[in-house]
Structure 1
Amino acid sequence: MKDNSHNELEVTMPVATIDPTTQPTEMAALSQPQPTKLEDPFLVTFDDSFDAEDPRCWSKGKKWPVTDVLAATGFNRIMVSTIMAPTLTTIAKELDMTDLEAVMAMSAYILATAFGPLVLGPLSEIYGRKPLLHVSNIWFLIFNLVCGFANSKGLLITARVLAGFGAGAVYALQGGVLGDVWSAEQRGKSLGIYLLIPLLGAAVGPIIGGFMAERTTWRWMFWSTSAFQAAMIVLSFTAFHETYGPLILGRRAAKLRKDTGDQRYYTAAERLDGSRLVRNVLLRALTRPLRLLATHPAIQCTALVSGFEYGVLYIVLSTFADMWIKHDHTSIETSGLHYIAIAGGELAGSQLGGWLMDKVYKRLTCRGNGEAKPEFHIPLMLPGAVIGALGLFLYGWAAQFGLFWFVVDFGMLMACFGLQMAGMPISAYVIDAYPDYASSATAASQFVRSLTAFAFPLFAPKMYSVMG
């Protein structure tokens, strides 16, 4: 189908049943009531009672493999973000880097994860979650492998940036896939189980990196994670199924049009995009995360709060090993083991926080006479923020005055427990508040988080030096 004035291909859909001049704008369409199957027999939707193709109706035996594959992918990509922490001094010496350049090599990866979701998240709302996962997996594998062979600081930093861009897909897909598959009542449980594996990556990375730095070359950090990524690529091709509802319905509508010869069958998403050029559809999708961040106060507030928490966490992750090595004169291996406290706090926070969040959500829904709201996830933020602040205070105070190592680690465990418990409700709120564009909304929040995770560690060494 062509536009005579522009002579460009349009998005295929049965425009004969739709007046383009009456189509609502993208954001307005989200708040307007949509026609039902009874009102329009040519509207293709999932069945209200049960539909085997609806991801929300999948069996747990199909939901969990999809969730677990994404979680395992996230584990590797997040582990790579921190695995360099204990070996920054070693890498800097071999590649003739300053301290700032060494930190930049680690943080550049995080910076790239700010921009990856802005592109990959919206594209997953056009082409589906599955293709974007596969493409980003292969992209990440290639450039993470290059990091292992880098013989100059320029090549290492460049490869880290490109690897981080591919790694960023998991942050956008996280919100989209969990929103596609799990209901709001299961949001805490699904987030808790999903985060169980990736959170290990942030803390296990420095542990593995420390042992590798002591016993072999630092390059094995990248070679080993690349081997793991290759295995995940094979697994994702076999166990990950498409979860994006509008794409599944679009395929169903296309099949109906082909089988019946009736071009009037359409989906709600096709109705919105009906007469728009492919170029315009892509432009609107790719700018959606930044438009959400610029115009939606809910996204702005959640992004700022989670961004600050993320930045503080990465200050700790990037300096924790250095604190033990320089302040307590421990070995690189031993310094890596202290990251177990970080892993323990985050894991405990995700599991207890997920369970409590579902309990609070159900209770508030019952009080509201069965009316569920995304805001019902939020109350758990306050106790989490208080516990996190107390933990950070204990960590800093105990480290400054040289108290027994267990007190220092316990303070960090408390801090990570609280930060995780406070952060999960933010993710749940964004997923449920923007169900049709969960990946774009998540990408908008992740943009700020990744920027703070990149920037905060850059000034941390100077801050620590000035403050003693």
Structure 2
Amino acid sequence: MATYENRAREARDLKDERLETAFEQGHDADVPYNLETYIPPTSDLEKSVHSTPASTRDDDGNLGEETQAAAVHEIDPNIVDWDGPDDPENPMNWPVKKKWRLIFILALVTLVTPLASSFFAPGVPQVMKSFGATSNIIAALVVSIYILGFAIGPLIIAPMSELVGRYHIYNICNLLFVIFTIACAVSSNMNMLIAFRFLAGCVGSSPVTIGGGTIADIFPRDQRAGAMAIWAMGPLLGPVVGPVCGGFLVQAKGWRWVFWILAIFSAFFAMLLLTLTNETYAPAILERKAARLRKSTGNPNLRSRLKSPIPPKELFIMSIVRPMKMLIFSPIVFLMSLYVAINYGILYLLFTTITFVFEDQYHFSSGAVGLAFIGTGVGMLSGMAALGIMSDKIIKKQEAKGNVKPEHRLPLLLTLPGGIALPLGIFLYGWTADKHVHWIAPIIGTAFIGLGNLTGMMTIQTYLVDAFTVHAASAIAANTVLRSMFGAFIPLAGLSLYDKLGLGWGNSLLGFVGLVIIPVPIFFRYYGERIRTDKRFQVRL
């Protein structure tokens, strides 16, 4: 019995690792074009592995990597694989120093592109004056259009990285990001600036889209936590740190220097990544090895063990259609994505209007106005700390009971305070700014907004991953597309809303929307399992 339980536990662990790795690498786990994707139980490989003599197994009955590779070659001698478990070409076998050098450089690149989303915000009044623009919609669009690029870029970047490898995608996108950012710096009119901001957002999404996959390429699951934490700080802190630095830069040098600084730093980090790192994506590395062997041996039948059986056209269609099908036809994905999208849209409405609010209401200078964004950052960090401490404790408690469900990712202890924090922060921010209460009061309000935004986004993302397992990447992609679209378009109404209703009632309208959506995660906490298992709500993918 003990042996059976051990084997069952090992099987579950292997399945969990394959699911987690596939998601981190940016694809669904049922797409068989990666080392850690599912192999159908009836495949020739599994038959070969299962028929391998007991003498080749270890004390626990498991096959070593060499034996598994031999099983593959028994099926087809034209299969190209690693040269044993210690092959130095395998990124998993890279020296520790080489791995962490890559992570450090990748973290720098991943910091710059999210930072660019809001770095420019304090300079909007100067831009409007430079180009003689007066439209409130244009004032918001010039900031938020970048986020629309973050919605569209990943749909192309993710499948392309599976076809040509991550290294090429990083370097192409980094080069284009520098070019588009320089184009923003030398823009001669508002249309040109908006167009190149959008293009910069599309290519700037690459490190956020495939950075987690790079980490999964080089670290086994039990060693990823530290690397993921370092890499994830960029997307979290970038949009908040950006305006703080950007405010003083705009005041000292003008708005164009925001883009020149971004271009300089991104070019430097891009050169580091180009010259000091290598390809990490195993299928791409083995495919190049197979190409070399085909040329040297004259055997055209040689092929990589990890070669994707899915044609590129089908891969592109799948990467775009599957998330959209889940978004439209799955009530869980749609409502949860809508909840996050509203949160995100309100956050970026805040980012695009806070400069005008604090300059008009409190007469902050262009430099000091960037400091008004600190409250949001403090709130987000507080939410991250709360999640880190409480979420794992709740899951471990349920594991001890032997009753872990995806819905346990939505504990009332986190979802309810987080849901209340958002509208509370909006009301506090709006009315204190409207009544000219001391400037610290609205900044405290933005801290509550940051807290509610992060707890809502993170709890729902982990829930979607656990709820959709095999199709976790598509569920998150659907969430990201809707979230980014709201983040791009809701801010367009911000300044006009304040002009018509004032800061108090204008923000109150947003606060009431925040109150209305509070029940969404609570509803799925209690009824999510019933909906997930109901055949009427299951999407055919």
C-alpha distance 438-233 of structure 1, shift in aligned 2 (>3 A): farther
Which of 231, 245, 259 is residue 194 of structure 1 equivalent to?
A: 231
C-alpha distance 286-422 of structure 1, shift in aligned 2 (>3 A): closer
Which of 105, 114, 121 is residue 69 of structure 1 equivalent to?
A: 105
User: What amino acid does structure 1 have at the position aligned with 2:369?
Assistant: S
Identify which of structures 1 and 2 has the higher relative contact order when contacts are C-alpha pairs closer than 8 Å and 6+ apart: 1
Which of 349, 357, 371 is residue 323 of structure 1 equivalent to?
A: 357
Cα drift, residue 316 of structure 1: 1.0
Counterpart of 1:133 in structure 2 is 170
Which of 441, 452, 458 is residue 418 of structure 1 equivalent to?
A: 452
In the alignment, structure 1 residue 109 sits paired with structure 2 residue 146:
yes
SS of 1:338's equivalent? helix
C-alpha distance 158-183 of structure 1, shift in aligned 2 (>3 A): same
| Aligned residues with identical type, % of pairs | 32
Counterpart of 2:271 in structure 1 is 234
**Separation (CA, whole Å) in 2 of partners of 1:196 and 1:81:** 15
2:138/2:492 contact within 8 Å kept: no
**Separation (CA, whole Å) in 1 of partners of 2:160 and 2:142:** 28
Q: Counterparts of 1:255-294 in structure 2 under 5 Å?
A: 263=301, 267=305, 270=308, 272-273=309-310, 276=311, 278-285=312-319, 287-294=321-328
Q: Give TM-score scaled by structure 2 length.
A: 0.69
Cα drift, residue 286 of structure 1: 5.0
In the alignment, structure 1 residue 400 sits paired with structure 2 residue 434:
yes
Q: Give TM-score scaled by structure 1 length.
A: 0.78
Counterpart of 1:152 in structure 2 is 189
In the alignment, structure 1 residue 88 sits paired with structure 2 residue 99:
no
In the alignment, structure 1 residue 354 sits paired with structure 2 residue 365:
no
Counterpart of 1:161 in structure 2 is 198
Cα drift, residue 343 of structure 1: 2.1
SS of 2:72's equivalent? coil
Which of 306, 312, 316 is residue 346 of structure 2 equivalent to?
A: 312
C-alpha distance 82-431 of structure 1, shift in aligned 2 (>3 A): same
2:362/2:439 contact within 8 Å kept: no
Counterpart of 2:492 in structure 1 is 458
Counterpart of 2:157 in structure 1 is 120
**Separation (CA, whole Å) in 1 of partners of 2:416 and 2:292:** 49
1:171-206 C-alpha deviation (Å, 9 max, x unpaired):
422454455566777887665443323332212222
Counterpart of 1:343 in structure 2 is 377
Counterpart of 1:9 in structure 2 is none
**Separation (CA, whole Å) in 2 of partners of 1:137 and 1:388:** 35
1:124/1:439 contact within 8 Å kept: no
User: What amino acid does structure 2 have at the position aligned with 1:457?
Assistant: P
1:196/1:350 contact within 8 Å kept: no
Name whichever of 190-199 and 56-65 sits farther off.
56-65
1:86/1:335 contact within 8 Å kept: yes
1:30-86 C-alpha deviation (Å, 9 max, x unpaired):
695465361453478899x99977767877755554444333223211222112222
1:175/1:431 contact within 8 Å kept: no
Which of 68, 72, 83 is residue 41 of structure 1 equivalent to?
A: 72
Cα drift, residue 427 of structure 1: 3.6
**Separation (CA, whole Å) in 1 of partners of 2:364 and 2:446:** 18
C-alpha distance 282-324 of structure 1, shift in aligned 2 (>3 A): closer
Cα drift, residue 149 of structure 1: 0.5
1:425-447 C-alpha deviation (Å, 9 max, x unpaired):
33445556677776655443221
Name whichever of 328-337 and 378-387 sits farther off.
378-387
1:71/1:198 contact within 8 Å kept: no
SS of 1:332's equivalent? coil
Cα drift, residue 229 of structure 1: 0.3
Counterpart of 1:15 in structure 2 is none
**Separation (CA, whole Å) in 2 of partners of 1:365 and 1:258:** 53
**Separation (CA, whole Å) in 1 of partners of 2:289 and 2:395:** 34
2:155/2:319 contact within 8 Å kept: no
2:140/2:494 contact within 8 Å kept: no
**Separation (CA, whole Å) in 1 of partners of 2:273 and 2:244:** 26
Name whichever of 344-353 and 457-466 sits farther off.
344-353
1:325/1:335 contact within 8 Å kept: yes
User: What amino acid does structure 1 have at the position aligned with 2:130?
Assistant: E
C-alpha distance 46-346 of structure 1, shift in aligned 2 (>3 A): farther
Counterpart of 2:58 in structure 1 is none
Name whichever of 440-449 and 130-139 sits farther off.
440-449
C-alpha distance 435-121 of structure 1, shift in aligned 2 (>3 A): farther
Cα drift, residue 266 of structure 1: 5.7
**Separation (CA, whole Å) in 2 of partners of 1:448 and 1:137:** 25
1:116/1:164 contact within 8 Å kept: yes
Name whichever of 331-340 and 261-270 sits farther off.
261-270
C-alpha distance 117-398 of structure 1, shift in aligned 2 (>3 A): same
1:254-308 C-alpha deviation (Å, 9 max, x unpaired):
78888996958764663x43xx5x4444444454443443455554344322212
Give RMSD over aligned pairs: 3.8
SS of 1:226's equivalent? helix
**Separation (CA, whole Å) in 2 of partners of 1:445 and 1:265:** 36
